[in-house]
Amino acid sequence: MRGIVILTFTAFITIVGQSQELSTAELISLTSLTPQKFEQAINKKGYQKGDITDRGDAVVHVFNPRQKTIEEAKIKRYAEKYQQGEEQFLVYATSSFTENNTIREKLRKEGFFCPVDSVIYNGKEILFQKKNLVVAAACLVSPADTVYSFRFQYKNLPTPARVNFADDLLQFTSHQHLVTMFGSANVTKDQYYFSDNEINACTVLFPNTSRQAIFIWNDEMNLADLGSIVIGGSVRGGSSPENEMLQVSENAWMLRNGIRANMKLKELLELNGKDFTIYGKESDYFMKADAAAEKGDIDFKEISVIMGCLNCSATYLLNKEKLSAEVALDNNLSMHVLMLILYPTDNTTKDEVKTK
């Protein structure tokens, strides 16, 4: 009889301990719930509401397990529901290495894209991505304990009807978002060669077609955090045979303000409404429109415009630091827009694009 009681008590401890561990499927389901419905659902999983705090612009609801056993108290767990305007996301943290591995393995089995197999301690977040759901996994080590956290967040992706201009592509902030929207057959991982010594991970949308666009990522490991988009021009891709330069003769993407690749200099001047300057051979930004010039209708700080020319190799006009666009036109230089580089509006680290 005593043995039965001990066995029953042990089973009770096991069941209680498991009830506090949230499965991957449960976490995904909880992510989309409103704070009120989330509270009701997580209470059923053995969690109780703790503090409500403000972190920046976000309101955070903290939930802790109702710990009932000594064994359960050995594992630190908590859940946080963030509400920031219309956006919301869920953070789940555990000190259990086994639980951490279980969640990661389940995400992979469910088809989440992740470029890294190992845990990165106190490093950058590792992203698991599937369609519009992003799970950011992190590991924080302190003298007290090691905590593994997972941030579950649904991202709003545009509908096909909202992608008509090159500017609209700025809505996509990861490789996986492009795959979700345009299909894996139209999206390729590659490397963008700014120079022989400066290479960056990129994604090429519709490679070698008139709709080619190149996405440069700040977070090269996760292919996320958009740095810029290159429209037109050439790309020397690492996956291309012998790193050949790939040239798209006519790019179909146009900006909302009317600028497009292959646009003639005369058209660009008319669109801007006034003269602007172009960097010459004495500058590292050869053939780039000067962003510091007096503004017309085009803001060359928000859009890097790189010019090409069919008859400029022998001209003396470019043998200086800058050249007036009107002077170039008056001297019959056959200039056109070779390449456009777009930046996200919240990108505060826009560097001047060197062209040589």
pLDDT at 311 over 60: yes
Say if residue 186 is in the same domain as residue 138.
no
Alpha-carbon span 181 to 205, nearest angstrom: 11
In a domain, 352, yes or no: no
In a domain, 177, yes or no: yes
Query: Percent of the chain at pLDDT above 70?
Result: 85
Say if residue 24 is in the same domain as residue 145.
yes
Q: What are the pLDDT digits (tens) for 126-174?
A: 999 999 999 999 998 888 889 999 999 998 888 888 999 999 999 999 9
Q: Are the C-beta atoms of residues 197 and 188 closer than 8 Å to each other? A: no
| Residues in the chain, overall count | 356
| Domain enclosing residue 166, as ranges | 160-247
Say if residue 38 is in the same domain as residue 83.
yes
> Average of pLDDT values for 303-307?
94
pLDDT at position 12: 38
Say if residue 181 is in the same domain as residue 298.
no
In a domain, 273, yes or no: yes
pLDDT at position 355: 65
In a domain, 255, yes or no: no
Say if residue 171 is in the same domain as residue 144.
no
Q: How many Å is the Cα radius of gyration of the chain? A: 27
pLDDT at position 350: 55
Alpha-carbon span 356 to 220, nearest angstrom: 23
Of the residues 154, 172, 197, the one at which a domain ends: 154
pLDDT at position 81: 92
Report, in this order, helix, strand and coil percent for the chain, each rounded to 5. 25, 35, 40
Say if residue 30 is in the same domain as residue 138.
yes
**Model confidence pTM above 0.85:** no
Of the residues 129, 154, 179, the one at which a domain ends: 154
> Average of pLDDT values for 30-55?
88
Say if residue 121 is in the same domain as residue 235.
no
Of the residues 122, 154, 186, the one at which a domain ends: 154
* pLDDT, the chain, mean: 85
Q: Are the C-beta atoms of residues 207 and 246 closer than 8 Å to each other? A: yes
Q: What are the pLDDT digits (tens) for 59-117?
A: 899 999 987 667 667 889 999 999 877 788 999 999 999 999 999 999 999 999 998 87
Minimum mean pLDDT range among 17-21, 139-143, 279-283, 329-333:
17-21
Say if residue 25 is in the same domain as residue 128.
yes
Say if residue 144 is in the same domain as residue 44.
yes
In a domain, 1, yes or no: no
CB atoms within 10 A of CB 255: 19
Question: Which residue do the tokens 């000594």 mark?
Answer: 70
> Average of pLDDT values for 165-192?
94
pLDDT at position 209: 93
pLDDT at position 180: 92
Question: When comparing pLDDT for 9 and 142, which is higher?
Answer: 142
Say if residue 222 is in the same domain as residue 271.
no
Band of the pLDDT at 347, cuts 50, 70, 90? low
In a domain, 230, yes or no: yes
Band of the pLDDT at 2, cuts 50, 70, 90? very low
Say if residue 28 is in the same domain as residue 141.
yes
Please tell me the total count of domains within the chain: 3
In a domain, 348, yes or no: no
The set of residues, in sequence order, having a beta carbon less than 8 Å from that of 83 and lying 6+ positions away, is 35, 58, 59, 60, 61
pLDDT at position 78: 93
Question: When comparing pLDDT for 289 and 351, which is higher?
Answer: 289
Say if residue 26 is in the same domain as residue 98.
yes
In a domain, 78, yes or no: yes
> Average of pLDDT values for 17-44?
85
The set of residues, in sequence order, having a beta carbon less than 8 Å from that of 307 and lying 6+ positions away, is 265, 278, 287, 288, 289, 335, 336, 337, 338
Q: What are the pLDDT digits (tens) for 193-238?
A: 887 788 899 999 999 999 999 999 999 999 999 999 999 976 555 5
